[in-house]
Each structure stands twice: as C-alpha cells, then as structure tokens.
C-alpha cells in the first residue's frame, strides 16, 4: 500500500472511534496506521513490511496509549455508575414487597435484589420502574 492509503485508513479508524465506540481501541489502530504511513513515506520498503510493522505497532500503541487516554477522558465515576443505564427500565417483583422493603425482582431475564422506593407496597408481577441503582440493588416504584 502506498503511504496515503495508510493515512486514509488511520483517519477512518480515528473518525470511527470518535463517532461510534469512544473506547480508544480503533483510535490506537488509527495511530498505528498513521505511523506506518509516515514510515513508508520516509523509507522504501516492500509491502509485506508495511503489514508487519502495522501488526507490531497496533497492539503496542494499544497497550501504551489506551489506558492513559481512558483515564484522562473517562474519569472513574464509582461502581454504581456502571448500572445507571438500567434507570427507567421495567422490572417485576418475584414476591410482594412491602413499603421500604427488600425483595427480588426480574429485569431483562435476570433476578436482582430490589428495594421498594415507593410509598405503597409492590405486588408480585406488578410492573415497576427502576428509579436508581445502588451496587446490585434496584430501587423500584410502581408504574
């Protein structure tokens, strides 16, 4: 491949990471492709060397660059933040759960510990909304 093809590949990978994944994996592959583009422009080498250098650079850049970038742009938000995407989902209690009581509820096919955050009891099988997540405990309110 000629140098500009590696440059285009690098830019496409970086743009895809920025637009879709945001986890810096494709970004590191894009950086490796840009490095191969620079090397192939400076040094004449056979095509298989391009691929060999890319195969060595991509995991090296991934190991060296990804963790610091994630630490810089994704600060640790705490353990509870990992399940914030469940807020607003529908869960159904397995048993009756009294006011401010604790029981079990099914959400997305899994059984979770559930805390009744509502002012009235929750009945078995009643549709409830997840209002917050603390650790692995769902706080539920009746719909």
Domain boundary among 55, 73, 91: 73
For 8, what's the count of Cα atoms within 13 Å in the CB-facing half-sphere? Answer: 5
106: CATH: 2.40.50.140
Q: In the predicted model, is pLDDT for residue 79 greater than 60?
A: no
Q: Could you identify the residue written with the tokens 């759960």?
A: 97
Range of the domain at 10: 3-73
Question: Are 13 and 62 within one domain?
Answer: yes
Question: Are 9 and 62 within one domain?
Answer: yes
CA 65 vs CA 31, 35, 59, 92: distances in Å = 10, 14, 10, 43
CA 121 vs CA 8, 53, 89, 95: distances in Å = 60, 64, 19, 11
Rounded CA-CA distance 46/111 in Å is 57
Q: In the predicted model, is pLDDT for residue 83 greater than 80?
A: no
Burial class of residue 1 (count of CB atoms within 10 Å of its CB; 0-12, 13-18, 19+): middle
**How many structural domains are present in the chain?**
2
Question: Are 8 and 63 within one domain?
Answer: yes
Question: Are 69 and 85 within one domain?
Answer: no
Question: Are 115 and 84 within one domain?
Answer: yes
Once rounded to an integer, what is the mean pLDDT over residues 39-56? 93
- Residue 131 tokens read as 């209002």
| pLDDT at 78 (0 to 100) | 59
Question: Are 67 and 103 within one domain?
Answer: no
Question: Are 99 and 68 within one domain?
Answer: no
| pLDDT at 75 (0 to 100) | 64
Question: Are 88 and 26 within one domain?
Answer: no
């Amino acid at each position: 491949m000629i140098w500009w093809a590696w440059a285009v590949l690098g830019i496409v990978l970086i743009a895809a990471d920025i637009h879709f994944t945001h986890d810096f994996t494709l970004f590191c592959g894009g950086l490796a492709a840009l490095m191969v583009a620079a090397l192939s422009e400076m040094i004449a080498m056979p095509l298989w060397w391009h691929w060999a250098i890319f195969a060595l650079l991509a995991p090296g850049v991934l190991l060296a660059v990804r963790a610091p970038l994630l630490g810089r742009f994704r600060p640790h938000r705490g353990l509870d933040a990992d399940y914030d995407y469940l807020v607003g989902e529908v869960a159904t209690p397995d048993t009756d759960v009294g006011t401010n009581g604790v029981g079990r509820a099914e959400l997305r096919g899994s059984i979770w510990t559930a805390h009744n955050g509502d002012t009235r009891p929750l009945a078995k099988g009643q549709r409830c909304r997840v209002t917050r997540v603390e650790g692995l405990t769902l706080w539920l309110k009746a719909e």
